[in-house]
Amino acid sequence: MVCGLPGIGSVAWLAVNHLQKELKAELFAEVFSPMFSPKVWLTEDGVVKLMKGEFYFWKNKGGGTDLLLFSANEQPYSPEGQYELADVVLDLGQKFEVRRVVTMGGMATDKFTEQPKVYVGGTDVALVKEIEQYGAVKLAGGAITGTNGLIFGLAKPRKIPAICLLAETPGYLSLDANAAKAALELSCKLFGISMDLHALEKQAKENSEAVQRAKDLSRGAYQHETKKGGDRELPYVS
């Protein structure tokens, strides 16, 4: 099961969204709730859409792992709502007897990088070590706030092995496709599935070029300060 709600850089949301589209996973359940904002959206056709969470199912025709996906168009606005939604997601996960839960997020580093690191936390040491083999860096301390963190954490007392992948993102990008791609590549290795990441790569390249142009413009006037030892620091994460 892969879960990704909007957060810093929309990393998790972009990753799960890409996964759903590429796999053509099917929507099979929706969550409406007062834990979401009191508003509705309209499509281009003038048709109403509620704030909601969505569950998708992908039948792996190759015989490997099937996948459940969960996403939502926002995180619940109240702390209680975030706990409640995390429980709803894990309840459904347990009904489907998911073997592993992967949540994702962005780790704001305040600097752009072409090759974002992906940090990993897990419900036990063995899991963390397994993901380190795929290239992730152990998240040795710090806090993860929000629903992506709670789904991950609340899996532990339920005895569901869970992993949280946090891709480096500068924090000033609202949609960081580069970070989403990095988190997604790791997830795919983990589930043993291959995936066309072309769409994310294209969007990531555009991000990169835009950041470069912005840097060129500001050179001379603004010397970008890189924090020393930034890799070891654990900044705000969502």
Q: Which of 23, 154, 175, 188 binds a copy of itself (CB under 8 A)?
A: 154
Which CB, 44 or 97, lies closer to a copy of itself?
A: 44
Which CB, 83 or 191, lies closer to a copy of itself?
A: 83
Neighbours of 189 (CB within 10 A): 15
Binding flags for a copy of itself, 51-90, as an x/- string (CB under 8 A): --------------------------xxxx-xxx------
Q: How far apart are CA 9 and CA 172, in angstroms?
A: 7
Binding flags for a copy of itself, 32-51, as an x/- string (CB under 8 A): xxxx-xxxxxxxxxxxxxx-
Which are the contacts of 199, defined by CB distance < 8 A and separation ≥ 6? Answer: 18, 21, 22
Phi then psi for residue 217, to 5 deg, are -60, -40
Q: Which one, of 192, 144, 126, lies nearest residue 11 by Cα?
A: 144
Contact 162, 152 (CB under 8 A): yes
Looking only at the bridges linking them, the beta strands covering 162-169 and 101-108 are parallel
Which are the contacts of 19, defined by CB distance < 8 A and separation ≥ 6? Answer: 2, 25, 67, 69, 184, 187, 195
Which CB, 68 or 237, lies closer to a copy of itself?
A: 237
Which are the contacts of 231, defined by CB distance < 8 A and separation ≥ 6? Answer: 117, 137
Which CB, 28 or 222, lies closer to a copy of itself?
A: 28
Q: Does 159 bind a copy of itself (CB under 8 A)?
A: no
Q: Could you tell me the smallest distance in angstroms from the CB atom of residue 155 to a copy of itself? A: 8
Interface segment toward a copy of itself; rule CB under 8 A; list 89-97, 117-125, 179-187, 199-207: 117-125
- Full DSSP string of 147-167: HHHHHHHHTTTTT--EEEEEE
Q: Which of 19, 92, 108, 144 binds a copy of itself (CB under 8 A)?
A: 144
Q: Which of 23, 54, 117, 138 binds a copy of itself (CB under 8 A)?
A: 138
Binding flags for a copy of itself, 176-195, as an x/- string (CB under 8 A): --------------------
Q: Which residues bind a copy of itself (CB under 8 A)?
A: 30, 32-35, 37-50, 77-80, 82-84, 120-125, 128, 138-147, 149-150, 152-154, 156-157, 162, 164
